[in-house]
Structure 1
C-alpha cells in the first residue's frame, strides 16, 4: 500500500510527541515524514521532502500556521493542509477556509478526531491520484486525444523538432503509417476579400478547408492532413516521383473547389518530392517558401516550388541529408550514440553516387552544423579542428568520402568531450558563483533562492538541482550554515548582544535565530559564547 507523507508542525514538543503516538499512521495509510517546531522550519522541510499532508497549529513563533498554509498553497497547489487551534475564533476558521485548508480542528484533539480527519484526507488523496492513474480513464483520454497527438507529432516532424529513430518510435506509438518510397508536402491557405474583416479567413476558413481537402483526397491518394494556425498541411505518400503529377492535379482541383464551395480564394503551395521522413522538414520549408510567392504570382492557384525556383541536382542532393541525429549525439549522447549517428550519416551518403560539387556542398553544410555547436558553447574552432581551422575552402579536396568517416570520428569525439567538460565546468562555475553571492549577501534577511536565481539568470528548478548535486545540501541549508558560521565568529570576537548578531547575519527574529542556532549546535548562542570564553580561559 502506498503511504502518504505527513509533516506535523507545532511549537510545543509535548504536543508533537502526543500527536505522533496518538494514531497508527501506517494503518491509516500515512508515513510520518517529520516534525517541525514552527512554520519557517516546516516551509524549509517541505522544500526537501515530498510532503502530501501538513498538519499545523495556528499560534507559533516566527511564522504562524495561517501564513504557512498560504505559502504552502502558493508553492504546492495540491498539498493538503490541516489547521488546528486552541481558539474558537470565527475569523481563524474563515481564513482557513479562504486558504483552502482541508480541515479546521479545535484543541484538544482526540485520537478519534485525528483518525477521522486523516481518513477523509486519505480518501480525497486517493480519489485525486486515481483520477490521474485510472487506466480505463487514461485509455479513453488517450483514444480521444490520439488524433490531435498525431497531428502534433507530424507537425513536429515537419518543423524539424523530431527526426531519426525517435520520430519513427513515436509514429509507431501513435499508430501513424507514413511509410512510402516518396513524399511531398503541400500547404493550403484560404482567404476572402472582405474589406471590413481582414482576419476572417484565418479564423473561419481553415477548418472547412481541411474538411474539404480530406473529403476530396479520400480514396484518391494516400495522405495525412492537419491544420496549423491558418494553414492546412497535407503530406502525400507517393509510389514514385511521377506521382507528383497527381498531387498537382488534385491541388488544382481543390483550389477550384474553393471558389465554388467556400466562396474563397484557395492557394496551394507544393514542395518537391523527397525520399525519407527525415527530409519532410525540408519539403515543408519548400512549401512555405512557395507560399511566399502568393503576393507576387497571385492567390487561388497551385504554386509548385520546382516551377518557381528550379533546383539543380546539387541542391536537391544536399536537401536529402539530415544532420540532426549527428548533432544531437555530439551534444547529448555517449560514444556509442555518436558512433551510430556517424554510421547512419555515412550510410546515407554512400547509397548514392556523389559528384565533386555535391560533396563540396555536403562538406560545407556539415561543417556549418559543427560550427553552430562550437559557437553556441563559445568555443574556439582551433580547439576542435586544430591546424585546419579556417582553411576549409581547400580541405575538402584532400579528404575522400571514405576518409570523412574517420575525420568525423575524430572531430565529433573531441567536440563531445569538450562539451562534456564545458558543461561540468559550467555547473561548477554556477555553484561557485552562487556560493560567492550567498557569502556576500548572507546579511540580507530577504535573500532567497529566487533573488539568487535572478542574479545568476537561471531557473529556480535548474539551480536547485545543480546546487544540491554539487554542494550536497539545499540552498536553505547552505545559507543557514553560512549565517551560523559568521554568527559563531561574531560570538567569539565581539561582545555584541545576541539580537544584534542575529540582525548582522540576516535574521530579523532574534528568537528564531536562537532556535536555529540551538538546533544546529545543541545550545543557545549565549551559552555557546560562555563555553568558548571558559575554554579560552582554561587554556591560558
Structure 2
C-alpha cells in the first residue's frame, strides 16, 4: 500500500481530503499532513511517504520550495501540486522540478483518487524497471564471475601459455602479473574461517564448487612467500581444531606455468587429508572401541594409576595395561600406533587438567620430548619403554606437587578425593574430618592452594564427571549422583559454568580433539 502525505495551509482542505477517501479500501495509507513546507519536512522524513500532495501558496515555505527539497533529498517521491493559481510561471517551474501532476483547485475526491492511482501505477512500473535492471546487472556480473572463475581454473590446469594467459587476464581485469606464485585450496563450511586470507595477503580468489575456495597467492620474493605459506598453514591448522576444514598448499613456483604445478600439489594434499581424515575416524573408532568394549584397554585404569599409582608398580601396570598388544592377532603397526596415541592423549590431558605443566617450562619440554618419541614406537618392547618413561615423569610431577601441601591440606585433599561422591560433603564435614575449625580450614586451604575448598571440591566432581562422560554410557542424572550431586539440573549448570560446555558438547569435543591430535602427530 502506498503512503500519502498532504501539505496545505487550509485546515478545511486537509480535513476534507483526509476524510473524503476511504484510503485503505483504495490501497493507500494516509500517513499525515502539515500546514506548510517547513513543518512538513521532518514529518516526511519520518514517515517516508510514496506520494506528497502539496499546495503552492503557503506561509514560511511554499509548495515549490518544498518540492525542490524533496526532489533532491527523496527523488523517488511522487509530487502532486494543487494550486489555486492558473499561472504559467508556476506550471513551468513545476514541470522543471518534474512533479507528477499539476492540478487546479478545487479537485473532487474522485479526480484526486484517479491522480493518486496514476502516480501509484507509475511507481509500480518504475520499481519493475529497477528490478529488471538489477536482474540484468546481476546476470552480467554472474556471467563475468563465471568467465573469471573458468579462466582461473583453466589457468591452474595449465591450459594457457604465458601470452594467452596475460591477454585473457587483462580482458577480465585480473591483476595476474607477479614473480612468484603458490596455490591454496580450502574446503570448509564457513567462509569466515578463510576470509582473513585475502584481507591480509596479496592473492586472487575464486571457486569451482560450493564450500571450496582457491587462492592464487602472489609475491615478488620466494623466501617471503614461503614464510607466508608456513604462517597460513599454522593458522589453518589452528582453525581446523574448531571447525571442519580441509586444505592443501602447493610449493612456491616462478612464472605463470608454475601455477599449475603448485595447484596439483595443493589439490593432492587436500585430497589426501580428506582420505586420511575419513580413514582415521572410521578405523580408529572401530579399533579402539572394540578394545574398550572388551575391557582390554581401560582408560579409567590409566587415570586411576596416574592419580594414585606408585613408581614401583609402573612396570607391572604397563605390562597389564598393554597386554592385548602382545597377542599374535593384534600386532599390527596401526593398532600399536592408535594405542600409543590414546595413551599419550590421556596422559597429557591429565597433566593439563591437573594444571601441572601450564606454568612450568621445564616440565613442558620434558613432556614434549617424550611425545615426539611416540612416532618411533614400532614394536611391543618400544610400547613398554615409552609407557614406563611417560609414567615415571607423571608420577615425579605428582610427587613434587604433593610435597607443596602442608600435612593438614594433604589430609583435606585426600578426604575430598575419597568422599567427593557424598552429596552431603561440605566445608563443615571436611573440617570435622581433619579436626580443625571450618573457618581456619577455609583460610588455610585458600592460602595453600590458591582456591577455595568448595571450588576445589567442585573441580574434583566435574573432573570425575568428565571421566564418566567419556568412559561410560551412563545417563547424565546417573553421573550427577555418582559425583555427589543430588540435583541433576544443578549438576548440568555447574558443569557448563566450569567447562563452558554442556555435557554433550564436552563429550563431542573430546572425541574431536583426540582425532585431531592423531592427525597432527608425525
Instruction: Classify the TM-score, shorter chain.
Output: 0.3 to 0.5
Q: TM-score, normalised by structure 1?
A: 0.37
Q: TM-score, normalised by structure 2?
A: 0.38
| Rg larger in structure | 2
